[in-house]
Every structure is written in C-alpha cells, then in structure tokens.
Amino acid sequence: RPPVATPAYPCARPPLHPPLAALRGFDRRLLLVFVPLLALDRAAMVVRWAQLLEAAGSKVSWRIAARIHLSATFLGSLLPAGVGADATRAYLVANETSNGGAAVASVAVDRALGLLALVVLGVIGTALWSHGGEGGDDRVAFLLLATVGLGLIGLAWSDRILRRVVPNRWRGSRVARPV
C-alpha cells in the first residue's frame, strides 16, 4: 500500500497490461499504410515551411530546413503545448540565416496556415457529418461552408481588397506599412 504523501506513485509504477494488450491486438499491416502517409505529411510540412522562409527572405537549403523542422518537431513533442517546436525553429533559423524577424514571421505564418487548415477540415467534417440529418443541420453546415469559402476567397484576394480600401494618404505611413 503506497503512503499518502506520494501522489506520483501511479507514475512510478504504471500498469503495463493495457498497453501491451493493445500492442498485441494491433494489425501490423496498417504500418504499411501509416508510415508512408506520415513521411508524406512531414515532407509536405518541410516544403511548406521552406517556401515560407524563402518568401520571408531567408533562403536555406531543403536539407537544412528539413533538419531544423524535424528536430524542432521532436523537441516540441517533449515540451508542453508545442511551443517548443515553434521557438526552436525560429531560433535555429535565426542562427542559420542571421535574420530573426523572417524566422519568427515564417513560424507565425506556418502556425496560422495550420490553424486555417484545421478550421477548413472542421467545417468540411461538420458538413459531411450533418448531411442526411434534419433540415436545420443541413442549413448550418451550408452556412459554415459558405462562410469558410468566402473567408478563403477573401484571404486569397486580401492584397487587392486592401489596396482599394486603405486610403492613399496612409500608404506611406506606419499604419499601412508591413511589419
């Protein structure tokens, strides 16, 4: 029987039966599907981030971008909330290129693109899940899809829209100058 003063006792001796039972019941053939999909996912993430770095003015090789991204992803899995991965990527790119602003900007835009992708997938999932339900569910799903669709169109055309909306007298001022 553990003493009352040791709340970490379950962590010191975790029960191994449930994870081992799950491993025994795992179909190993699924690894033939999972591993290539995971490699494709990581490659797409590296390519997206390397293109963001290039657009921000920090040209790094694909090899260095992959090394930094994958190392930061590993470190981020060890630190809370994934913030460690973002901080590590920004720090390593800043050291590699001596362009800290572009490094932080690329990480921030990459995070925003990831959030946008989650929203789009959530809306699509909601639309597919509610299809075939009552009429109210279909209307909500349609409104969500329309809102996200219009938002994405607006995002794609935001530079042109802002040029028409921002007054000419602001264009050279600190208000309209990009950060």
Instruction: Label residue 40 by pLDDT band (50, 70, 90).
Output: very high
Q: pLDDT per residue over 51-105, tens digit each? A: 888 887 778 888 988 998 888 888 888 877 667 888 888 888 888 887 788 888 8
Scanning the structure block, which residue is given the tokens 């602003």?
101
- Residue 59 is predicted with a pLDDT of 80
Give the amino acid at 125. G
Top mean-pLDDT range of 11-20, 115-124, 168-177: 115-124
- Residue 57 is predicted with a pLDDT of 79
Q: What is the mean pLDDT of the chain?
A: 76
- Residue 103 is predicted with a pLDDT of 82
d(CA 93, CA 99): 8
- DSSP class per residue in 74-131: HHHHHSGGGHHHHHHHHHHHHHHHS-HHHHHHHHHHHHHHHHHHHHHHHHHHHHHHHT
* Tally of CB atoms within 10 A around 100: 14
d(CA 96, CA 72): 14
Q: pLDDT per residue over 150-159, tens digit each? A: 777 777 777 6
Instruction: Label residue 132 by pLDDT band (50, 70, 90).
Output: low
d(CA 23, CA 102): 44
- Residue 179 is predicted with a pLDDT of 45
